[in-house]
Amino acid sequence: MAGETAEIWWLDTDGLDAGDWPRLEALLDEAERVRARRFHFDRDRRSYIAAHALGRRLLSSRAGGEPSAWGFTIGAHGKPEVIGPPGRARLRLNLSHTRGMAVAALTEEHDIGVDVEWLGRQPASDELARRFFAPAECAILAAAAPDLAEETFLSFWTLKEAYIKAVGLGLTQPLDAFAFTLEPLGVRFEPAIADDPACWRFARFRPTPVHLMALALRHPTPQAVTVTVTAADVAMLCV
């Protein structure tokens, strides 16, 4: 039945050879190639190319066609949405990229968001937590053992980003009006958000020792959805 599978593909970009990049870039469309050329830093260009190549190949693996042929519209708050193909369930894709890692998440019809962060990105700080997290999340972070503080901080960060990206309203969503718990993984929404935890499936992963990743999927029966996670490589992307 359509929409019952959510696929996550991730690519470790640190392990790629110089010759892999033109092959991945060949999966992009012309506008993305132009955008890729504008990045100042090679590492930013590469994570952008990897994420977009990953997303396009994932779409083609589900629905056929050439990866470079997929088109996207951009929503009012910047969320890209897949165009077509006509006559079948609407494909929903979300991308994330960070140093050394690109991720694409795909489902049909339902809102999906994914976020990946590099653990060395920024040290956990009370100031950042107060700025971005709900009070209950700040309390969990404050109680975490020092050696788990960074992981706890980025777990909240990736979960909140994944939720924001799934909803697609950008940072118009008040970040302190929804609070995650990690053990067990769950969420509580304040009335300002008017959302229902029973409509959501959240998951977190650690694809490498230095990356944390989170998924948010809105679905009427979220626990019935099969979530698959695949470590992609250039051979499977550039067939």
Ligand X SMILES: CC(C)(COP(=O)(O)OP(=O)(O)OC[C@H]1O[C@@H](n2cnc3c(N)ncnc32)[C@H](O)[C@@H]1OP(=O)(O)O)[C@@H](O)C(=O)NCCC(=O)NCCS
Which residues of the chain form contacts with ligand X (CB under 6 A)?
48, 51, 77-80, 94-97, 115, 132, 157, 160-161, 164-165, 168, 170-171, 175
What do you get for the CA distance between the two ends of the chain, in Å? 28
Residue 62 vs 121, nearer CB to ligand X = 121
User: Minimum CB separation from ligand X for residue 132, in Å?
Assistant: 4
Print burial letters for 19-52: b (CB count within 10 Å at least 16), e (below 16): ebbeebbebbbeebeeebeeeeeeeebbbbbbbb
Residue 126 vs 224, nearer CB to ligand X = 126
User: Minimum CB separation from ligand X for residue 111, in Å?
Assistant: 10
E strand or H helix at 149, and its extent? helix 149-167
Residue 31 vs 231, nearer CB to ligand X = 31
User: Minimum CB separation from ligand X for residue 236, in Å?
Assistant: 21
CB of 92 closer than 8 Å to CB of 109: yes
Instruction: Tell me the C-alpha distance between 55 and 29, whole Å.
Output: 12
Instruction: Tell me the C-alpha distance between 5 and 36, whole Å.
Output: 31
Residue 170 vs 174, nearer CB to ligand X = 170
Residue 87 vs 127, nearer CB to ligand X = 127
CB of 147 closer than 8 Å to CB of 203: no
User: Minimum CB separation from ligand X for residue 1, in Å?
Assistant: 25
CB of 202 closer than 8 Å to CB of 224: no
| CA nearest to 98, candidates 44, 137, 138 | 44
User: Minimum CB separation from ligand X for residue 48, in Å?
Assistant: 5
Residue 20 vs 161, nearer CB to ligand X = 161
Residue 108 backbone phi and psi in degrees, to 5: -120, 135
